[in-house]
Amino acid sequence: MIAEAKAHIESRAGRREPRVAVVLGSGLGAFAAELSDRLEIPYGEIPGWPSSTAVGHAGRLILGKLGPLEVAVMAGRVHLYEGYTPRQVAFGVRVLGLLGVRSIVFTNAAGGINLSLQRGGLVLISDHLNLQGSNPLAGPNDDQLGPRFPDMSEAYSKEYRRIALETARELGIGLTEGVYAALLGPSYETPAEIRYLRAIGADVVGMSTVPEVIAANHMGIRVLGISCVTNMAAGVLPQKIHHEEVLETGAMVRDTLVRFLTTLLPRL
């Protein structure tokens, strides 16, 4: 199925050969508009590609150029909490890998666990905790894609993180490193769960990214991850968490994220 999707995209893409891709999370879709010479393909038109149901997830693959650089953008992703299998969640990343993408920047919306974080801040993911109870590599291994037991000791490229921190410093954008904990969702966490996550070393929490990062590492694709702290996690502030707040904060940081990605991508 991933081969069919690849063939379909190639038949429409002409000579485009992106080596770099960006995955845009909840409310973070604005970057796609920066690309010139755009080809937009709704996920529904690509054989086997799962389409998202979540509000704020547009659901299209965009191929285009950032200056001279060929870039692929996944605007919208699917999540395990929607009922998709881990393999479906990893589908897009695998197709990008087959198309020749060697570097992917994942963005997501996340709750801030570390008390030094603030709503609207950006966190560079240094590592993750997979607490989703699943793995996209479970089941028969496709040896064409990667090894049975892939190493995850540098799931988020150290070199890319160095470049990202330097770029953020140059642009005057606040960026701190942190560990991303992925939970299944779709309910937000309880305050007790957030205390537990803090105790085991998580700085931010979300419901995405980890299956895709595992699939990317499996294929030898280098990964960078950026979380937008759209809200403080449950129990940190005396208020409830709403999806609307998540989307609103995404809109607040939109321009900063676009500025950051625009400078960062050509350096990867």
Which residues of the shown chain bind ligand HPA in the complex (CB under 6 A)?
A: 109-111, 188-189, 205-207, 230-231, 233, 241, 246
**117-127: string of b/e by CB count within 10 Å (b at 16+)?**
bebbbbbbbbb
| Nearest CB to ligand HPA, comparing residues 46 and 123 | 123
Q: 17: Cβ–Cβ under 8 A, 6 or more apart, which residues?
A: 70, 99, 100
Give me the catalytic one of 208, 217, 218, 232. Answer: 208
| Nearest CB to ligand HPA, comparing residues 159 and 244 | 244
Catalytic, 57? Answer yes
Report the nearest approach of ligand HPA to the CB of residue 232 (Å). Answer: 8
Give me the catalytic one of 10, 45, 51, 81. Answer: 81
| Nearest CB to ligand HPA, comparing residues 22 and 233 | 233
Catalytic, 128? Answer no
Catalytic, 245? Answer no
Q: 209: Cβ–Cβ under 8 A, 6 or more apart, which residues?
A: 23, 25, 106, 108, 125, 128, 180, 182, 225
Catalytic, 207? Answer yes
| Nearest CB to ligand HPA, comparing residues 3 and 115 | 115
Token pair, residue 85, equals 């299998």
Report the nearest approach of ligand HPA to the CB of residue 28 (Å). Answer: 11
Catalytic, 26? Answer yes
| Nearest CB to ligand HPA, comparing residues 66 and 194 | 194
Give me the catalytic one of 32, 57, 157, 168. Answer: 57
Report the nearest approach of ligand HPA to the CB of residue 194 (Å). Answer: 8
| Nearest CB to ligand HPA, comparing residues 73 and 241 | 241
- Residue from 132, 143, 152, 145 nearest 86 by CA: 132
Give me the catalytic one of 72, 109, 182, 219. Answer: 109
Give me the catalytic one of 231, 232, 233, 234. Answer: 231
The span from the CA of 54 to the CA of 163, in Å, is: 32
Catalytic, 40? Answer no
* Residue with nearest beta carbon to ligand HPA: 111
Report the nearest approach of ligand HPA to the CB of residue 31 (Å). Answer: 18
Catalytic, 82? Answer yes
Report the nearest approach of ligand HPA to the CB of residue 133 (Å). Answer: 15
Report the nearest approach of ligand HPA to the CB of residue 205 (Å). Answer: 5
Give me the catalytic one of 34, 70, 82, 193. Answer: 82
The span from the CA of 20 to the CA of 157, in Å, is: 14
Catalytic, 51? Answer no
CA angle 264, 136, 54 (to 5 degrees): 65
| Cα 244 to Cα 104, 139, 151, 154, 248, distances in angstroms | 27, 37, 37, 34, 6
Catalytic residues: 26, 57, 79, 81-82, 109, 207-208, 231, 243
